[in-house]
Amino acid sequence: MELTEIRDLDGPNLFAPHPVIKLGLTLAPGERMSDDALRAAHRALSVELPSSPLDALPTVIGALHEAVGLTPPEVGLRWLDTPGHVAVSFEWLWRESSLAIAQSAWDFLSGAGTATGITVARDALERDRASGNQPIWVRDDQRRVPAVGITGTNGKTTTTRLLAHMLRETGKHVGWSSSSGVYIDGEQVIEGDYTGPTGARRVLEDPTIEVAVLETARGGILLRGLAYESNDVGVFLNVSADHLDMQGVETIDTLAEVKGVVVRVTRPSGVAVLNADDPLVLAQRQRVAAEHLLFGVRPDNHELQTHISSGGRAIVGDGGAIALVSDGNATTIAALADVPLTFGGAAAHMVENALAAAGAAVGLGLSIEEIAHGLQTFRSDLRSNAGRLNVFRLDGRLVVVDYAHNESGLEALLSFTRRLMAGHGKLAVILGTAGDRQDGVLSGLGVIAVRGADVILIKENPKYLRGRPLGEQTDIIRAAIEARGGRDRIAGTYPGELDAFVASLELTDDGDAIAVMCVEDQLAVYRELRHRGAEEWG
């Protein structure tokens, strides 16, 4: 029996729609508390405990709350994907004292508990009450503006930017948080990845905004919980195997549940915008109280058609246009040819983002005309959507720079670049991502590159090793490429994205294309493009 962590979650999370203290435990099958531990708990807490640790914990946690002078909370239990890893959680109101109770509960479980733990928690409660050390989340009675939560594996930042643009074009003052920073009416007020609760709170607490658009990543949900009690519109774009092996989450099904927190906390009077073409997203419907507004591009999608035939609203991308279906009637919003973000429909994943943003706009009450205007005036360029599918012409080549950082992102990048190429030129790809991906994901990138590219430049990401030694990631990718017969396509391994990009220019000619997985040195790559006279796609 081992304690893996004690964590205070300040908002809705995988375990509950409210703040919880999480005890992460690793247990062997059939493990039991010792007789000494049972006797110590009886002496200090006056409780008789079963020998099973998980059966004993709710009683211990409740008795500790009573001893400190707090109401015993409901205790939850969930087995996670990592074998033997279980999360025990309980609602909390006072931070330091609740953490002390959790520590004391573990001490009693392991045989080290004494009455001193009660004194420590009681003293902590006094300090908590004096300092107001309570959960840091925005309650519904504190939130003064409509809020939109946007989650998914890919496309979050683009969808966030597009929806914020739509709203600003209607004259509203908008704040948004994203992987590139926090913005208030288009001005960056904090730089960096703010897809967690800190960024969301900064937006929600700004006194000047009228709408909050909050990009929400799984890391913040797992490590801190959501920043708010509920949202008015929740958007769930997609889910794929990325960022697994964190906090006991090892399967894509559990990852979908983590991300699904964003739509599960959508108000019953609000709208949850769900991707009908992703079964794992659609499965979250069962736990969503809000209206389900589905979006999708597959006309043969049975779930989407059933939803529409039963009177549900949907945003569909079919027949070269984006349309709103309501009460069985379709109203065209815009032709894909008039939506620059989608490159005339060639960027299938951008079509998905456009549908999702349109659905969120419907949920907020924007008119068809307002949504159409927003879609028609937002471009995937350096001004509006830097780092996301930015396309350049350079000496007869196409260069596509994108924050593709996982398998599905690379698939979309290569597929789009092929569609955009004229003729039968070579496609070179600059390949690599952050180190906190499973070995299988890194190998998968190599397999996709062999399948979709003619020239492969493997690059290091030294600022994003995230625990891996330098060279390990590139070795895994290279081995996967060679195992698929792609040895001859490897042009080399490069110390960074800029070095790989400069090398790619020597390996390509007029009529060729370069697709860049760019997660680290985007500004340097853009400067190099500008220096060489590249022009953005018109």
Q: Looking at the chain, how many residues does it have? A: 538
Taking only the tens place, the pLDDT of each residue in 93-149 is: 999 999 999 999 999 999 998 999 999 999 999 999 999 999 999 999 999 999 999
How many other C-beta atoms lie within 10 A of the C-beta of residue 45? 22
Half-sphere exposure of 237 (CA within 13 A, CB side): 28
How far apart, in Å, do the first and last CA atoms of the chain sit? 61
State how far Cα 13 lies from the chain centre: 13
Taking only the tens place, the pLDDT of each residue in 246-264 is: 788 899 999 999 999 999 9
- In whole angstroms, give the CA distance from residue 83 to residue 510: 53
Task: State yes or no: pLDDT of 372 exceeds 80.
Answer: yes
Residue 248 backbone class (left: φ over 0; alpha: ψ -120 to 50; beta: rest) = left
Specify the 3-state DSSP secondary structure of 468. coil
Which residue's structure tokens are 């070579």?
426
Task: State yes or no: pLDDT of 463 exceeds 90.
Answer: no
Task: State yes or no: pLDDT of 465 exceeds 80.
Answer: no
Buried-state track 75-111, b at ≥16 Cβ within 10 A, e below 16 = beebebbeebbbbbbbbbbbbbbbbbbbbbbbbbbbb
Sequence-distant contacts of 67-72: CB under 8 A, at least 24 apart: 67/118, 67/121, 67/122, 68/97, 68/101, 68/118, 68/121, 68/122, 68/125, 69/122, 69/125, 70/94, 70/97, 70/125
Three-state secondary structure of 201-221: HHHHCCCCCCEEEEECCHHHH
pTM for this predicted structure: 0.93
Buried-state track 306-323, b at ≥16 Cβ within 10 A, e below 16 = ebbeeebbbbbbeeebbb
Band of residue 344 on the pLDDT scale cut at 50, 70, 90:
very high
Task: State yes or no: pLDDT of 243 exceeds 70.
Answer: no
**Segment among 78-87, 138-147, 464-473, 481-490 with least mean pLDDT:** 464-473
Task: State yes or no: pLDDT of 436 exceeds 80.
Answer: no
Q: What is the pLDDT of residue 126?
A: 97
Q: Which two tokens stand for residue 298?
A: 């597959």
Q: Which two tokens stand for residue 497?
A: 């994205």
Strand partners, 495: none
Task: State yes or no: pLDDT of 537 exceeds 90.
Answer: no
- In whole angstroms, give the CA distance from residue 351 to residue 336: 8
- In whole angstroms, give the CA distance from residue 356 to residue 273: 7
